[in-house]
Amino acid sequence: MPPELRERYFVEANGGLAFRNEVRRAVIFGRNDLLQDPPISRVDLLISRNTLMYFEHASQQRILANFAFSLNRRGFLMLGKAEALHSRTHLFEAFDLKRRIFVKNPSLESDLRLPRLPQRPPEAVEEPQHGALREASFDQAPIAQLVVDRNGRVSSVNYAARAAFGLKTSDVGRPLNELEISYRPLELRSLIEQVQTERRVISNKEVEWAPPGGRPRQLDVQVSPLTDSAGRHAGVSIAFADVSRYHVLAGELEQARRDLETAYEELQSTVEELETTNEELQSTNEELETTNEELQSTNEELETMNEELQSTNEELEAMNDELRDRTDEALIANAFLSSILSSVEQAVIVVDSELRITKWSRAASELWGLREEEVEDQHLLNLDIGVRVAELREPIRRVLAGSEQEPVRLEGHNRRGQAVRCEVGFTQLRSHLDELQGVILVMTAEKAEV
C-alpha cells in the first residue's frame, strides 16, 4: 500500500494498522428485507450476487423495482454469474453482460415513485405518549435500576428496585444519601463520585447481599454515567443484576467435576484389569498352540491330548466370557463419562501433559462449532475457536507444574460470530495413583456488551 494512503486512512494499533474513525463511520452495516422494507435511495452502485435466483418471478419483479428505485439516475446494478436481466425486466439496460453489470434505464424513472415512510424532522419534539411508554418500559425492566441526577437526588426507581430494596415512589426526589440503598448492599456514594470524575462505567461483581427475611444473594452492580443531548453530565444509572443462579451452577459444576474424577478412577481401574485379563488370555493362547503342536506330533496320545484340549477350550471360553463382561463394564463407564460431560452446561476441555485434547464436551462443540472427533488428539493451541487460545499456554504450564492458577478471561466470539467474554478455569487431572496426567479446562462464556 502506498505510504500516502496509509497515512491518510490508517493509524497504528497493536503492532499493525487500523482504519481511522472517520473512515469507519462512513461504512454502515444494516439488515434490509428486500420484499418488505422500503428501499434505500440515492445509491450509485448495488451489488446483488446470486440472490434473485432464490425468489419466484413475482418477488423478483418486486425486488428489481426496489433496486431501480434505489439507484440514482444511470446508477449501476451488478448481479451474479448465474443471473441475467435482458429477459426479465425493462428497468435496466445491459452495460457489460460478460461481467453482469447493468445500468438503470433513466426513461422509466417517473414510474418508480414508491411511497416513502414519513421522516421525523430533527427538531420535532417527542410526543408525550412516547415518553410515557419509555417510562413504563423502564419501570417494568427485569433488572433493578435507579437513576440519580447530577445533584445526587433520586430521579427514577423501577418496580424491580422498589420490590428488592424496599423503596417507594415517594423516595423519588430525595437525596440518595438519605436512603439505605446508598450504603447497602454496597457503598454507592464513592462509586458515583468516581463515575462522575472518570466518566466511565464501573462494575462490582458478586456483591453479597442478605435481604431482611430472605436468603443471601449475589449481585452484579453497574454504575453508568448519563449525559444530556449537549454531552454534559446529567447523572448516573445504577443497575443491580441478580447472579445467584450462577453460584448454584458453579457448585453443581464442582460436584460434577468430583463425580467425573471418581468415574475416571473407576475407568482406569477397569482398564488395568482388562490389560491383566488380556495378558492371561495371551498366555492361555500360547499354551493352546503348544498343545496343538503336541497333538499333531504324537498320534499315540491323541485321546489324552483331546481331553486336555477340551479342558483348555472350556477355560478359554470362561476367560472370553470374563473378558466380555470386562469390556461391557468399560463401555458402560465410557458412556457414563460421556453422559456427565454432555450434561455439564459449561464447555469442558481435557488436555494431556502435551496439551493435546483428550476430551471435548458437547457444550464446547455448541460454543465453538467443532465436534469432538474433529479436535481429538489435536494440539489445543493450534485450534481456531474464536478466542486467543495462545494466552492459555502459560496458565496450563503452571497447572502442570503443580501451581494454582486463577481463572483467565478471554475476549472473542462464539461459533455464531457473537462477541463473548469467556472465563477459563483450570483444574489438575490426576490418576488414582495421584499422578498428574493433564489439565481440565472449564469455559464459561457470556455475551459481551457491544
pLDDT of 336 over the 90 cut: no
Q: In what order do the strands lie in the sheet with 419-430?
A: 357-360, 347-352, 436-447, 419-430, 408-413
Confidence at residue 108, expressed as pLDDT on a 0 to 100 scale: 66
Residue 71: strand pairing partners: 43
- Range with the largest mean pLDDT of 118-127, 157-166, 201-210, 283-292: 283-292
Mean pLDDT of the chain: 84
pTM of the model: 0.33
Mean pLDDT computed over 61-65:
88
Confidence at residue 36, expressed as pLDDT on a 0 to 100 scale: 78
Confidence at residue 281, expressed as pLDDT on a 0 to 100 scale: 93
Q: Which phi and psi angles does 216 have, rounded to 5°?
A: -60, 145
pLDDT of 113 over the 50 cut: no
pLDDT of 124 over the 60 cut: no
Confidence at residue 131, expressed as pLDDT on a 0 to 100 scale: 62
Q: Residue 94 contacts by C-beta under 8 Å, 6 or more apart in sequence?
A: 85, 86, 102, 103
- Residue 73 pLDDT level (bands cut at 50, 70, 90): confident
Confidence at residue 129, expressed as pLDDT on a 0 to 100 scale: 57
Which of 39-43, 108-112, 249-253, 410-414 has the least mean pLDDT?
108-112
Burial class (CB in 10 A: 0-12, 13-18, 19+), 257: middle
Closest CA to 203 of 224, 181, 222: 222
Mean pLDDT computed over 15-26:
89
Mean pLDDT computed over 330-346:
77
Confidence at residue 87, expressed as pLDDT on a 0 to 100 scale: 54
- Residue 297 pLDDT level (bands cut at 50, 70, 90): confident
Q: Where are the alpha helices (DSSP H) in 47-153?
A: 57-70, 128-139
Residue 77 φ/ψ region, left for φ over 0, alpha for ψ in the -120 to 50 degree band, beta for the rest: beta
